[in-house]
Structure 1
Amino acid sequence: MAITLRSSDLEVVVTPERGADIVQVVDLRTGTPVLAVSPTGRQSSTMSVADSMAQWLHAYPGGWQLLAPNAGPERTHDGVRQGFHGEAGLARWSVLTADEGSCELETFLASAPLRLHRVVTVEGTALVVTDTVENLSRDPVSTRLVQHPAFGAPFLDADSYVLVPAGALITDAEAPGSLAGADLVDAPATLLAEGPVPGSIALPGPGARESLFAAFSDVGSAPHATFCSPNSGFAMRLEWDGAVFPHAWFWIEANAGSGWPWFRRLYAIAVEPANVLPGDGETAGRQRGGDGVRLEPGEHITTTTRLSRQPLPDAR
């Protein structure tokens, strides 16, 4: 059963039964939902699931997931096959506490000896998510970690743009999409169309049939991404811990994907704090993939990610 949290400015919906996902954030001043909604939804399905990617995607709701202990294609790690985007986003989480403004949840993974603990709090214009990952093993364990929030319509449209103060954009080596070439590393403004504010990136609107898969790197010690919607009249800023997440995956799916699972029905744009670059191998001296963060026996890490409503920046 979903948990609904409210402040004076935001309404937040969390689903413990699958992933402790934040499936929607609604700006109450305008009634605007800001997160993407997937056409595959959260409905029950009679679909025969052939592999872990199909399992993860066939009921993907959009919104915001935590990816652990894997992110990206399935892989064998520590003697077990870890599925596409990991177990955390599929797991059932226990609700420890819940009230109008916050909830506390936890789950224990089977594909890695990890306890995941999540506190979701909404107050005023800010949503704060605090995640703790604890190694329950007597051996060291490494895990990939990615925060997976995706934004969509009606908040974003063809006049929207994003500001990400990052030194480099690294496009995917195999499937970069239509907006950039493969396996490139350069300043974001060099590789992508600039938006109306200096340093911003223009975003395609619904129906544009454009796509991108890349990652930001060199994000600094206080990284953030600000999604700006002039037609909605506000921006949403995502802030994260650069010590835990030194990169951010950047993907755009503007009704480009024909065939399963989207059939050109998904409009979603995401900047996702990550502790690994997507893919495998190396590009311009930057290592893709890898095992992520190493936790010693009994060790834990705690990280806070913040999403807040902001005024639009001044245009030129």
Structure 2
Amino acid sequence: MRRNWAARLRHVTIDGLRAVVLENERLRVTVVPGKGGDVVEFLHKPTDTDFVWLSPQGLRDPRDHLQGAADDVAQFIDHYEGGWQEIFPSGGAPSEYRGARLAQHGEVSGLPWEYDVVVDSEQEVAVRLRVRTRRLPYRLEKTFRLRSGTAALEIEGRATNDADLPLHAMWGQHIVYGAPFLRPGARIRLPEGVQVIPHETAINPPARRVRAGGPWRWPLVPADGGGQSDLSVVQEPGSPSDIVYLTGFDEGWYEILTDVGMRVEWDATLLPYLWMWQELGASTGYPWWGRAYTVGLEPFSSMPTDGLAAAVANGTALVLEPHETKVLRLRAEVLA
């Protein structure tokens, strides 16, 4: 029986793509198995706050006629609607691994996933998504769970190496925040002892240890060649764009806060890095055209954002032994 109360599910179509809505009294989360299992809505109902950034180009089917002609970057960028993507088995720029050419952000974010309902009750709902990579012999599963009365989404991911030999991978959660939630002055909190690594030195990184809850700074050089940004506070529109890597997590968590907030928790033994990416409108060429105001806070297994080959070279890539399964648990909770 279809329910309009407590925990419930809806199976819908968005712009021609299969989607499923997990909902309870406090949250509505929309997932698109038809495109990478992307989360395109994370709405806190009491405050009518959606946390995810949505690209002006909107949701596009990655199987459309442009896909065949797309280059290794455009496969991701031209179909990027914002939101939250699963990144596997490569993160960032196109890369080649053992003869396999991997496009921007790897494979799974551009593939259709199968899904089935695991639980559908008034107490909780859960759906399990499944996909196989095409260039490398991996299987991924991802279970989304929402319990009645909570403002927290629980996620369990499973990555399995189907080969008889060990393989490398990068695994990440491409989570980006936008309006109406994100605005200048939003604060970012981290655990004690986290280190900041700039992109330019990520291959052989020196690190700066910072104090949790206080300002942690790294120079972000704008077009005029000067200035410095406090990365613990989201800056004004037009501020410099950049990416840095954070590590040294004894516990995997961060909080991003305005009048309401989001706390994301994850297993930092599996994903020891947090990529912090900000695009605040300073990039006026392809692909942003000055229209983006977003911050990404993305738990990752590896660094930098230069693809799997670079992560293998610097020793940060995951290793999955023959037929090994790695399990990742995350929790995203609204703070209000």
TM-score (norm. length: structure 1): 0.84
8 Å CA contact retained: 2:218, 2:231: no
Q: Deviations over 1:214-272 (max 9, x none)?
A: 0101111x21110101xxx2111011101100111001111121111111111111111
Change (3 A) 1:273 1:288: farther
Give yes or no for contact 1:213–1:251 (8 Å, CA) kept in 2.
yes
For residues 134-175 of structure 1, give each alpha carbon's deviation from its aligned partner in whole angstroms, at most 9, with x where no partner exists.
Answer: 011111111111111111111011121111225211111189
Which residue of 167, 186, 195 maps to 2:194?
167
Q: Any stretches of 5+ residues in structure 2 without a counterpart? A: 1-17, 220-229
Aligned to 1:179: none
Does residue 107 in structure 1 map to residue 131 in structure 2? yes
Check conservation: 2:217, 2:232, Cα contact below 8 A: no
The code of the aligned residue for 2:232 comes to I
1:218 — aligned with what?
A: 248
Cα displacement (A) at 1:291:
6.2
- Aligned residue pair count: 290
Q: Does 1:245 align with 2:280?
A: no
- Structure 1 residue 307 corresponds to structure 2 residue 332: yes
Q: Verify the 8 A CA contact 1:18 1:91 in the aligned structure 2.
A: yes
SS in 2 for 1:89: helix
Structure 1 position 16 matched with structure 2 position 33: yes
Change (3 A) 1:79 1:139: same
CA distance in 1 between partners of 2:335 and 2:98 (Å): 43
Please state how far the C-alpha of 1:287 moved relative to its aligned partner: 9.3
| Secondary structure at the counterpart of residue 264 of structure 1 | coil
Please name the residue that 1:267 is paired with: 293
Give the corresponding residue for 2:15. Answer: none
Which runs of no fewer than 5 residues in structure 1 stay unpaired? 176-182, 194-198, 281-285, 312-316
Q: Confirm or deny that 1:130 pairs with 2:131.
A: no
| 1:1-316 superposed matches below 5 A | 1-43=18-60, 49-97=69-117, 99=120, 101-123=125-147, 124-165=150-191, 166-173=193-200, 185-188=207-210, 189-192=215-218, 201-205=232-236, 207-220=237-250, 222-229=251-258, 233-279=259-305, 290=315, 292-311=317-336
Contact persistence 1:164–1:200 (CA under 8 A): no
CA contact (8 A) 1:278 1:289 kept: no
> Is the contact between residue 142 and residue 291 of structure 1 (CA under 8 Å) also seen in structure 2?
no
Note the aligned Cα RMSD (angstroms): 2.6
Q: 1:288 Cα shift?
A: 7.6
Query: Deviations for 1:89-110, whole angstroms, at most 9, x for unmatched residues?
Result: 0011001226473211100111
Q: TM-score normalized by structure 2?
A: 0.80
Hey, what's the Cα distance between the residues in 1 that align with 2:59 and 2:201? 30
Kindly indicate whether the alpha-carbon contact (under 8 Å) linking 1:19 and 1:88 is maintained by their aligned counterparts in 2: yes
Cα distance, 1:279 vs structure 2: 4.8
**Alpha-carbon distance in 2 for matches of 1:58, 1:267:** 18
8 A Cα contact 1:278 1:288, kept in partner: no
1:69-120 CA deviation, whole Å, 9 max, x = no partner?
1001111112211111000100110012264732111001111111000001
